[in-house]
Amino acid sequence: MNSEQKQLKVLRCTCCGAPAPAYAQWSNQDIGYGICPRCRDMVVKKYGERRLQWLYGNRGEHHSIEESNASTA
């Protein structure tokens, strides 16, 4: 077990209820809730990246885990 590795949690998407993997809970969401990639794209289109960050947190930490892993791996 590597204690330096962040623990991946599967939160629930606050929009559609789909699994929403995250390393950390974002403070603007209820405990156990995040956002899935599909709804994230919708939020970005509708409200923009800044609002996404404010509402749902940072990519690669509070949501969008797979994408950021793929780009840094």
Q: Which is nearer to Zn ion, 1 or 31 (CB)?
A: 31
Residue of the chain from 18, 47, 51, 54 that contacts Zn ion (CB under 5 A): 18
Are 36 and 18 spatial neighbours (Cβ–Cβ below 8 Å)?
Answer: yes
Scan residues 27-66 and list those touching Zn ion (CB under 5 A).
36, 39
3-class secondary-structure state, position 34: strand
CB closer to Zn ion out of 1 and 59:
59
Sign of the torsion angle spanned by Cα atoms 34, 40, 43, 49: positive
Q: Report, in Å, the least distance between residue 31 CB and Zn ion.
A: 17
Q: Is 22 in the site for Zn ion (CB under 5 A)?
A: no
- C-alpha closest to that of 66 among 26, 37, 42: 37
Q: Which residues of this chain interact with Zn ion, rule CB under 5 A?
A: 13, 15-16, 18, 36, 39
